[in-house]
């Protein structure tokens, strides 16, 4: 159930989704919200929080029960992501681990890989990351410079990656690397590195970011790092670029869900503040300008939610449409940023203080127009359908 629109029901929502939402809400209120300040100071959640989330059944929700998953659908991830936002979390790398990287392992992994990896992913014993972005390569993934040269039964991997979410805790990293640099996109492969005791694997500094200060975003370095050939995802080398393109819709949809919830959460905070804060002898919420701003924001928040939920329903029904996912991500990220900005303005000077959640929403919101593909890339994808 939406906090801002209690009568709203997404087309994909079932009783199972509603029960999951209640469970996730209670779990995050107890286990995440009280620890935000400490997690921000240490630049990451406690490692045991991952296993707590796993024990609570909040990881790998759309993976089969044979591996410990819930056997549900993609929309379950959207429910959990929304509840994380409502809980004012800015630290837990759920969206990378569960809806995104776990699905790479399940979709492209063989039977042995799935059996070896997925139970640990679902329990939280193994934390996932994906290493795409490089210091000189962002959205142009076919131009990555990290190389994986085969040497017998191993790949020797050299290169560096940046902006890696879950960089501190990751036990497994899906690495985007060139197995044949002469082939462009056709030379890109996805290789899973299991990091425990792995020679040549190095975690770089925690990156100082504008927002989301509690996320363990790091640089990663690979120096003659040997990874078994058996850890290649897919039947052969050279499929990585196409695997990435096929899975990016999931990443864009989860960002859309995050933005939809963030817009609502910002409005709820602004409404609550406007009822308490007085100016010139009356609550600021009684002034026409405040009411009109909030009315506009609420209208736009519903527009975000309906578009994102339409795209999710389409995906759940089996239509992996990159254009619709891109439209949802573009609109949600752009409009959410505007809504959070307007809501912060209602707080006046207090909106600039990080003790108020609206300040963290503001700094955390900006990246949604960048990662998962920039707004400009979204427009390029959408324009191809014109």
Q: Which residues are catalytic?
A: 251
Which residue, 164, 26, 22, 166, is CA-closest to 91? 166
Whether 14 and 77 have beta carbons less than 8 Å apart is answered as no
DSSP label at residue 364: H
Calpha distance 236→291 (Å, rounded): 59
197: helix, strand or coil? coil
Which residue, 341, 368, 378, is CA-closest to 212? 368
Calpha distance 289→294 (Å, rounded): 9
Sign of the CA dihedral with 233 first, then 235, 239, and 243 last: negative
Region of 281 on the Ramachandran plot (φ > 0 left; ψ -120 to 50 alpha; else beta):
left
Calpha distance 172→109 (Å, rounded): 14
Pairing of strands 218-228, 201-206: antiparallel
Q: Classify residue 31 as exposed, middle or buried by CB count within 10 Å of its CB (0-12, 13-18, 19+).
A: middle
Residue with the two structure tokens 């690979």: 222
Calpha distance 321→332 (Å, rounded): 17
Q: How far is CA 113 from the centre of its chain?
A: 24
Calpha distance 347→353 (Å, rounded): 10
Calpha distance 365→336 (Å, rounded): 7
Calpha distance 223→232 (Å, rounded): 18
Which residue, 70, 61, 43, 86, is CA-closest to 258? 86
């Amino acid at each position: 159930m939406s906090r801002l629109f209690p009568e709203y029901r997404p087309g994909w929502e079932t009783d199972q989704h509603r029960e999951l939402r209640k469970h996730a809400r209670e779990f995050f209120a107890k286990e995440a919200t009280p620890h935000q300040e400490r997690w921000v100071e240490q630049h990451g959640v406690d490692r045991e929080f991952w296993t707590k989330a796993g024990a609570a059944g909040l990881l790998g929700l759309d993976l089969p029960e044979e591996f410990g998953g819930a056997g549900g659908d993609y929309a379950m991830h959207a429910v959990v992501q929304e509840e994380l936002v409502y809980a004012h979390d800015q630290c837990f790398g759920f969206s990378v681990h569960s809806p995104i990287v776990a699905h790479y392992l399940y979709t492209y992994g063989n039977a042995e890989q799935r059996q070896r990896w997925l139970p640990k992913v679902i329990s939280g014993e193994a934390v996932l990351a994906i290493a795409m972005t490089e210091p000189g390569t962002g959205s142009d993934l076919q131009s990555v410079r990290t190389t994986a040269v085969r040497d017998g039964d191993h790949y020797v991997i050299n290169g560096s990656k940046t902006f890696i979410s879950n960089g501190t805790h990751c036990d497994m990293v899906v690495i985007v690397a060139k197995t044949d640099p002469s082939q462009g996109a056709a030379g890109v492969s996805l290789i899973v590195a299991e990091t425990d005791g792995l020679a040549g694997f190095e975690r770089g500094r925690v990156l100082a970011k504008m927002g989301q200060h509690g996320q363990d975003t790091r640089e990663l370095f690979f120096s003659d790092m040997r990874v078994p050939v058996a850890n290649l995802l897919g039947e052969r080398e050279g499929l990585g670029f196409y695997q990435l393109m096929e899975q990016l819709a999931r990443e864009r949809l989860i960002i859309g869900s995050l933005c939809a919830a963030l817009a609502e959460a910002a409005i709820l905070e602004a409404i609550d503040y406007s009822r308490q804060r007085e100016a010139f002898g009356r609550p600021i919420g009684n002034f026409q300008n405040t009411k009109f701003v909030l009315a506009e924001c609420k209208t736009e928040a519903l527009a975000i939610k309906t578009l994102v939920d339409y795209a999710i329903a389409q995906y759940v029904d089996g239509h992996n449409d990159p254009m619709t996912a891109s439209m949802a991500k573009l609109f949600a990220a752009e409009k959410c940023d505007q809504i959070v900005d307007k809501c912060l303005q209602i707080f006046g000077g207090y909106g600039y203080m990080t003790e108020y959640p609206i300040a963290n929403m503001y700094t955390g919101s900006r990246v949604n127009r960048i990662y998962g593909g920039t707004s400009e890339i979204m427009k390029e994808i959408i324009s191809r359908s014109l």
